Amino acid sequence: MFRFCKKNFRLAALTALLLLPLVSALGQSPDDVVLRDDFDSELSLDWEVIRPDPSHASLETHPGKLTITTQYGSLQRSQDTAKNLYFIAPPEGMSDFVVTTCIEDFLPERHWQQAGLMFWDDDGDNFIKWVRDTHSMNYPLLNAYWESDHDAPHARIYSVEIPKEKFWLRVIKRGELYQCLASVDGENFVTYAIIPYNDGTPTKIGLVAKNGPCEGDIPAQFDFFELRPLTDEERNDPVCAACKALHGKWKVVERTLSGTLITDDPDTLFSTWPGTLVIKEEEELDFGFTLNLESEPNQITLIARHRGVGKLFNGIFSLDDDSLTVCLNMELNGPAPDAFESLEGDGFVLLNMERPE
């Protein structure tokens, strides 16, 4: 059995519930390089600022922070009007690295207000950003967004509870894969998405704070910026391995709801790809998802999109080659099941799945 640990759905019910209301030293090898700026009275890294506007960026407004105030400006589909994009060049010969920042006192209030990390190639629609953003319904969220060579933009949004006072954003780059993580304490990071982007050689890495095509300035305080090599633990991250193993399509071959075997419903298909899990029967439901491999059994949390902050379905999963078992609590924000069983009246759905032929 393929297990993920550091030691080694009935759809109609889901639908009903959702419809309720990361100091370079000369001579270091690439694997030893650490680039860090703590923004103490002056910039210590060789920053390039794209479309600089000093009226909306300061090291003095909040000493010890780089404060970038959002303003009208976009990058979407070659608009190229966003200002105060702070970038450094990646260390030569360093293909994989971890980028982290901490943002303080930032709670976006209007659609498109955002701040976070960005990997940028040019103004020709080649970038990826991992930001705290705002939904069109004006609630905050996390957003992994990328564009590539004028293709249609991609967004993976996660409506999760993140405090205004302080939060951390991190991207772990492995070749062309960008693992997007967030933390509320700077120690424990949750993976929300693993995004494939271009050929894995961005020309610039840094910070973004902007509004998109709307007004409404709001300051974002960046406490630090750091780029460093991966640790051994990060190189062998079981969450990354689990997300890769789950990728693709899964067909439900047996389902039990509250102890009753369901035999007369339409086929159920699970599909996972970067940052997304889709459940399809007669219609599709689109979720973000996170994995907790510290727990036993391993836990999976489905994050409802476009439904407001903090609407979660908690469950457990087990993956054995081409067989996947998921037991999900159908109660919104209810605790994850303790075992792979569905009993009368418990509201749990037990799904046994296989790779379709």
Nearest to 119 by CA among 130, 105, 104: 130
Same domain, 91 and 155: yes
Same domain, 174 and 218: yes
pLDDT tens track for 130-139: 999 987 777 8
pLDDT score, position 5: 46
By mean pLDDT, which of 4-8, 52-56, 76-80, 244-248 is the weakest?
Answer: 4-8
Contact of 207 with 118, CB cutoff 8 Å: yes
**Which residue range forms the structural domain that includes residue 348?**
11-18+240-354
- The three-point CA angle 198-200-202 to 5° equals 90
Dihedral Cα 27, 33, 39, 40, nearest 10 deg: -50
Same domain, 196 and 323: no
Most confident of 31-45, 54-68, 113-127: 54-68
Tell me whether residue 333 is in a domain.
yes
Query: Within a 10 A sphere around the Cβ of 81, how many other Cβ atoms?
Result: 15
Tell me whether residue 154 is in a domain.
yes
Tell me whether residue 234 is in a domain.
no
Same domain, 81 and 203: yes
> Mapping DSSP to helix (H, G, I), strand (E, B) and coil, where does residue 30 land?
helix
Question: Of 171, 198, 228, which closes a domain?
Answer: 228
Burial bucket for residue 286 (CB in 10 Å: 0-12, 13-18, 19+): middle
By mean pLDDT, which of 205-209, 242-246, 348-352 is the weakest?
Answer: 242-246
CA-CA distance, 214 to 207, in Å (whole number)? 19
Which DSSP string corresponds to 127-164? EEEEEEEE-TTS-EEEEEEEE-TTPPPEEEEE-----S
Same domain, 196 and 294: no
Same domain, 277 and 175: no
Same domain, 173 and 55: yes
Same domain, 267 and 135: no
Same domain, 267 and 314: yes
Same domain, 144 and 167: yes
Question: Of 228, 248, 268, which closes a domain?
Answer: 228
Rg over CA atoms, the chain:
21
Tell me whether residue 322 is in a domain.
yes
CA end-to-end span of the chain, whole Å? 20
- pLDDT-based confidence at 119, cuts 50/70/90? very high
Q: What is the CATH number of the domain that holds 126?
A: 2.60.120.200
Same domain, 204 and 251: no
pLDDT tens track for 293-349: 999 999 999 998 866 777 899 999 999 989 999 999 999 999 999 999 999 999 999
Question: Of 228, 256, 275, which closes a domain?
Answer: 228
Rounded mean pLDDT of 99-119?
93
Look at residue 267 and tell me whether its pLDDT is greater than 90.
Answer: no
Tell me whether residue 164 is in a domain.
yes
Q: Domain total for the chain?
A: 2
Token readout for 96 is 């994989």
Tell me whether residue 29 is in a domain.
no
Cα 190 from chain centre: 8
Tell me whether residue 1 is in a domain.
no
Tell me whether residue 344 is in a domain.
yes
Size (the chain), residues: 357
> Mapping DSSP to helix (H, G, I), strand (E, B) and coil, where does residue 14 land?
helix
Contact of 220 with 108, CB cutoff 8 Å: no
pTM over 0.85: yes
Contact of 259 with 247, CB cutoff 8 Å: no
pLDDT score, position 11: 45
pLDDT tens track for 137-178: 778 899 999 888 767 788 888 988 899 999 999 999 999 999
What is the average pLDDT value for the chain, to the nearest integer?
87
Q: What is the CATH number of the domain that holds 285?
A: 2.40.128
pLDDT score, position 31: 59
> Mapping DSSP to helix (H, G, I), strand (E, B) and coil, where does residue 56 land?
helix
Same domain, 157 and 292: no
Contact of 190 with 275, CB cutoff 8 Å: no
